[in-house]
A and B are shown apart, each in its own frame.
Chain A
Amino acid sequence: MLFNSYPFILFFLPVTLLGFFLLARRTHGLVAAWLAAASIFFYGWWNPVYVILLLASIGLNYIFGIKLMRLRAAGRDRYAGRFLALAVAANLLLLCYYKYSAFFVTNVGLVTGTPLDFAAIALPLGISFFTFTQIAFLVDARRGEAREYNLIHYCLFVTYFPHLIAGPILHHGEMMPQFRNDSIYRVNWGNLAVGLTLFLIGLYKKTVLADGISEFVGPTFDASAAGSGPTLLDAWGAALAYTFQIYFDFSGYSDMAIGLSRMFGIVLPVNFDSPYKATSIVDFWRRWHITLSRFLRDYVYFSLGGNRKGTARRYLSLFLTMLLGGFWHGAGWTFICWGTLHAVYLVLNHGWRSLCRAVRFEPNNLPGWTVFARLITFAAVVVAWVFFRAANVDAALAMLKGMAGMNGQLSSECLLTYGSAFGNWLIERGARFPESSCFNGDAIQFIWILVSLVVCWAFPNTQEVLATHRPGLVSPGYRDIVPGRSALNWMWNPTLGWLAVIGGLGVFAMLSISEFSEFIYFAF
């Protein structure tokens, strides 16, 4: 079931909320079971067969977790370490089977020169997310940071529908105390108002902004995959459109998830913090998909040694972590390229910082440096997204060639549309331009990109707008979201003005639902 669907909005959500608060009057234990059952129903709506897989994964990991906690309590640390490795391997095996087996078999076939026939397996929805969530739980259990003996609560922690399909990736420790908090079981109009507002902003981002700009992405990327090289303007147009599409799509989903959860009184961690305002790649990864970068930092980077084993080892750990992050997104060389590119960016960024420290140079003091840094970071991110979106590496390279102007700078239609006199002047002097559309033939794409830039660079993000109501949990080590942080100080409160704004956005967003579209991150 999609958040941006009428069955969810008109039936599932009201029924689940109503059941939650009605049952809460009788017994809290039953409420957790109700919410877990509703979440499983939510998951099964897509494909009931995979509910068995989800429940099996939960059951096994619950047993693994209990075992780890008991081993730790018994002081058998070495054995617990081995058992943890086994449990994590079992989870990764499941993930590999569903997500990566086709990729491996295909590539082994290519290397050996004998194409191997392998029937593709349907990827269970959200498998990457619920696997990572549970791996984190196992590691926490081994470290003694997680103690959970209630199966229903554990099941709810994993299946909790706002985060089940596409995150945020949760820490056991930040959720369980909330489930045990009695205050969430009482109707809280403040939570409902904040949650509904967040949900509607997220819905607007998804159905109006992300789906709206998506129509400018496909044609150029598809043409590149088919072998035609886009011109500079077309290539940048499509790459920028995708850059905004994926942000509005995924941050919209996260806003919806956080908002939905808030209606139940549960606060989820912040997942996005205006990533395109980042002034470095290090900064970008503190703002983009925060719960994933937090997971990779805590459970991969630190496990590989982090920054405790020298500079070279640190960079290697960083590189491997990002490579794994790329591969986590999808079984394909494009995702590996994307991860590698970000790994290189991060290593360069850390190297640059070390160099600046060594020579005592503070670039931030230079006039205009922040703007320059933001622009160059943004450009680097846009270039990397090309790999993320392209059908294959060749198509990505064709797009990048286009972005470098190697397929011509402008198409004839661009000239005729935007600069008729100049275009004619050039053509009369013998200039010839490739046959291709210009921004899909009209100025709308240009306007979409411009508006998206303004939204991403000038506007406060959803968390900032609702900062006085602490809509999301801020993870340790990440920037706190406090009122007044943004230049445009838009502070949401339940007022008539905000009612008109949010109501307007909500009506527009809900009427845009009928153009069915999935979230991009459902594929990961």
Chain B
Amino acid sequence: MSPKRYTLALLALFLLMFMVVPATNWVVDPFWYFRNIEVRGFNLVKPSLHSYERLVKSALMSKLHPEAVILGSSFAEVGLPVTHAGFTSGGRLKSFNLSLPRAEGPEIYCYAQFSLAQPGLKRLVLGGFNMEAASCTRYPNLGEVDYVKLLLSKNAFGAALETLRQQDSKDFFTADGMWSFRRYSESFRNDGDIMDNFAEGLIPHLCQSPQRNRELDYGRIDRSKAPEGESTAGLRQIIRLALRKNIQLILIDFPKHVLSYEQDRECGRMEAYWSRLWRIASIVEEEAGSDSRQVELWNFYGYRDLNAERIRAGIAMPGRLWQDAGHFNVEVGEVAFDAIFGSDRTFGRKVTTRDFDRLLAEGENERRAFLIKNSWVARELDEARQIAYRQTRGRSVQPSRPAP
């Protein structure tokens, strides 16, 4: 082969590559950005999107201009129903779930600032937020999309091929930003698998000396006025921005599974939980007024069937309400949204400082009554915790065993 033919062949190969790869990525659209061609069995299931959500989600906000947005961590992405009739005002509001897996306070704060700055936004449901402000220099390109990455990267091309291959995948994203997470994963076949999954979720919440039936220490619940300054500046800024732009802001304290509440209680963390809730409620009232309909805080603490699904219930993962102690499925989110945007208050309460004591008392009574009837809670918590201990064995920060 002559050097000329070799060189021209190489150049032709690259020319071909620069045509085929972007065209494939554009047509298959593995990250659901372009949305020009959507064919069932060809590209409607997007199995690779979850690794690249941060590449496209904020850009989709800018492109789609939704009017009702959900923002938070994976809890919100998996469980809060973006098409709920109340949330979308009977389908009149174009909605989008901007939540991101593993998003933490600072990132959510920056995404909230970005969302509130978008034209046309009328409603924002925000969960997993911090009260502190954060520097958003780590997220300089929110709302922009990197076309080179979308069209020319090998990751995008790999994702496109994966999309073509896995159209029968049961794990799914929806075009409006929701994710099924582990609901349809093949790895969770029986109660044992689900127990392991719960146990893994408990690991970060293990403590040195858990104490069974620890009573709530009301004296340790801090009800002092929320201070001005850095420790609350983030939340205040978000509320002020929402008020200024006349956007309805719903702050959500995510529902948790009763095992998670019990673990926190045995580790003595419920006082801090209620103190934080009080502080947020007082900030909302300071900034928006005590009876504001525009900015509300909602809490879903409770011991009810909806968040007390047994692990050893013999139900397959797809039919469950909870994937683990934090990830609730959309059925739970539906009821939560019924409370917020409708009139069905079976699950969830709006939190105000005025009603705070009543909220606490009702919650405690509900818990006591529930636990008397449901002894499985202690058993399953012990079992999950034992597995969690086993999973952490050998680590230097090994939690101690619970007191008998």
Q: Which residues of A contact B (CB under 8 A)?
A: 6, 10, 189-190, 192-194, 196, 200, 412, 415-416, 423-424, 426-427, 431-435, 494-496, 498-499, 502-503, 506-508, 510-515
Q: Which residue of A lies closest to B1 (CB)?
A: A494
C-alpha gap A494/B1 in the complex (Å): 6
A12 to chain B, nearest CB (A): 15
> Is B135's CB within 8 Å of the partner chain A?
no
Task: Identify which of B61-69, B357-365, B390-398 touches chain A.
Answer: B390-398
Summarize A's interface: helix, strand, loop or mixed: helix
Across the interface, do B153 and A494 meet the contact criterion of CB distance under 8 Å? no
Residues of B within 8 A of A499 (CB): 1, 6, 9-10
Partner of A507, one of B17, B153, B397: B17
Contacts A192-B3, A514-B146 hold; do A432 and B10 have CB atoms under 8 A apart?
no
C-alpha gap A434/B397 in the complex (Å): 8
Residues of A within 8 A of B152 (CB): 6, 511, 513-514
Across the interface, do B148 and A514 meet the contact criterion of CB distance under 8 Å? yes
Residues of B within 8 A of A510 (CB): 14, 17
> Is B154's CB within 8 Å of the partner chain A?
yes
Residues of A within 8 A of B149 (CB): 514
Residues of B within 8 A of A502 (CB): 10
Partner of A412, one of B9, B14, B17, B395: B395
Residues of B within 8 A of A412 (CB): 393-395
C-alpha gap A432/B392 in the complex (Å): 11
Across the interface, do A427 and B393 meet the contact criterion of CB distance under 8 Å? yes
A371 to chain B, nearest CB (A): 36
Q: Which residue of A lies closest to B392 (CB)?
A: A412
> Is B138's CB within 8 Å of the partner chain A?
no
A164 to chain B, nearest CB (A): 25
- Starting from the known contacts A196-B11, A515-B153, 11 additional A-B residue pairs (CB-CB under 8 Å) come to A10-B18, A193-B6, A196-B7, A433-B395, A433-B396, A434-B396, A435-B397, A494-B6, A503-B10, A513-B152, A514-B148
Chain B positions 130-187 with a Cβ under 8 Å from a chain A Cβ = 146, 148-149, 152-157
Q: Which residue of A lies closest to B11 (CB)?
A: A196
20 A-B pairs whose Cβ atoms sit less than 8 Å apart in the complex:
A6-B152, A10-B18, A189-B2, A189-B3, A416-B394, A431-B394, A432-B396, A435-B396, A494-B1, A495-B1, A496-B1, A498-B6, A499-B9, A503-B9, A506-B14, A507-B14, A511-B154, A512-B153, A514-B146, A515-B153
Partner of B394, one of A10, A423, A507: A423
Residues of B within 8 A of A503 (CB): 9-10, 13
Across the interface, do A511 and B17 meet the contact criterion of CB distance under 8 Å? yes
Contacts A6-B148, A432-B396, A514-B149 hold; do A189 and B14 have CB atoms under 8 A apart?
no
C-alpha gap A254/B9 in the complex (Å): 24
- Of B2, B14, B154, most A-chain CB atoms within 10 Å: B154
Residues of A within 8 A of B146 (CB): 514
B8 to chain A, nearest CB (A): 9
C-alpha gap A427/B6 in the complex (Å): 60
C-alpha gap A320/B17 in the complex (Å): 51
Chain B positions 14-65 with a Cβ under 8 Å from a chain A Cβ = 14, 17-18, 21
Residues of A within 8 A of B18 (CB): 10
C-alpha gap A415/B395 in the complex (Å): 11
Residues of B within 8 A of A435 (CB): 395-397
C-alpha gap A189/B10 in the complex (Å): 12
Across the interface, do A512 and B1 meet the contact criterion of CB distance under 8 Å? no
C-alpha gap A172/B164 in the complex (Å): 56
> Is B4's CB within 8 Å of the partner chain A?
yes
Partner of A494, one of B5, B13, B157, B396: B5
Q: Which residue of B lies closest to A415 (CB)?
A: B394
Contacts A432-B396, A433-B394 hold; do A507 and B3 have CB atoms under 8 A apart?
no
- Of B146, B157, B393, most A-chain CB atoms within 10 Å: B393
C-alpha gap A503/B153 in the complex (Å): 17
Q: Which residue of A lies closest to B6 (CB)?
A: A494
Contacts A189-B4, A499-B6 hold; do A514 and B153 have CB atoms under 8 A apart?
yes
Across the interface, do B13 and A432 meet the contact criterion of CB distance under 8 Å? no
- Of A6, A196, A435, A511, most B-chain CB atoms within 10 Å: A511
C-alpha gap A502/B7 in the complex (Å): 11
Partner of B7, one of A189, A416, A423: A189
A228 to chain B, nearest CB (A): 12
Chain B positions 365-395 with a Cβ under 8 Å from a chain A Cβ = 393-395
Partner of A511, one of B13, B21, B393: B21
Report the 7 A-B pairs with minimum CB-CB distance, sorted nearest first. A494-B6, A511-B154, A514-B153, A193-B3, A189-B4, A427-B394, A412-B394
Residues of A within 8 A of B2 (CB): 189, 494
C-alpha gap A6/B21 in the complex (Å): 14
B25 to chain A, nearest CB (A): 10
C-alpha gap A189/B6 in the complex (Å): 9
C-alpha gap A193/B6 in the complex (Å): 7
Q: Which residue of A lies closest to B17 (CB)?
A: A507
Q: Which residue of A lies closest to B157 (CB)?
A: A511
Across the interface, do A511 and B153 meet the contact criterion of CB distance under 8 Å? yes
Contact bitstring B210-229, A, C-beta under 8 A = 1, else 0: 00000000000000000000
Chain B positions 102-155 with a Cβ under 8 Å from a chain A Cβ = 146, 148-149, 152-155
Chain B positions 270-303 with a Cβ under 8 Å from a chain A Cβ = none
Residues of A within 8 A of B148 (CB): 6, 513-514
A328 to chain B, nearest CB (A): 32
B200 to chain A, nearest CB (A): 13
Across the interface, do B3 and A190 meet the contact criterion of CB distance under 8 Å? yes
C-alpha gap A273/B284 in the complex (Å): 66
A10 to chain B, nearest CB (A): 8
C-alpha gap A441/B1 in the complex (Å): 47
B396 to chain A, nearest CB (A): 5
Q: Which residue of B lies closest to A192 (CB)?
A: B7
Residues of B within 8 A of A495 (CB): 1, 6
Q: Which residue of A lies closest to B158 (CB)?
A: A511
C-alpha gap A19/B397 in the complex (Å): 66
B297 to chain A, nearest CB (A): 36
Q: Which residue of B lies closest to A263 (CB)?
A: B7
Residues of A within 8 A of B21 (CB): 511
C-alpha gap A493/B389 in the complex (Å): 61
Residues of B within 8 A of A415 (CB): 394
C-alpha gap A499/B9 in the complex (Å): 8
B114 to chain A, nearest CB (A): 22
Across the interface, do A506 and B10 meet the contact criterion of CB distance under 8 Å? yes
B118 to chain A, nearest CB (A): 27
C-alpha gap A416/B393 in the complex (Å): 10
A200 to chain B, nearest CB (A): 8
Residues of B within 8 A of A513 (CB): 148, 152-153
A263 to chain B, nearest CB (A): 9
Across the interface, do B394 and A196 meet the contact criterion of CB distance under 8 Å? no
C-alpha gap A368/B350 in the complex (Å): 77
Residues of A within 8 A of B13 (CB): 503, 506-507
Q: Which residue of A lies closest to B148 (CB)?
A: A514
Residues of A within 8 A of B395 (CB): 412, 432-433, 435
- Of A415, A424, A494, most B-chain CB atoms within 10 Å: A494
- Of A426, A503, A506, most B-chain CB atoms within 10 Å: A503
A197 to chain B, nearest CB (A): 8
C-alpha gap A495/B10 in the complex (Å): 11
Residues of B within 8 A of A508 (CB): 154
- Of B21, B146, B396, B397, most A-chain CB atoms within 10 Å: B396
Residues of A within 8 A of B398 (CB): 432
C-alpha gap A458/B154 in the complex (Å): 28
- Of A495, A503, A514, most B-chain CB atoms within 10 Å: A514
Q: Which residue of A lies closest to B150 (CB)?
A: A514
C-alpha gap A431/B395 in the complex (Å): 9
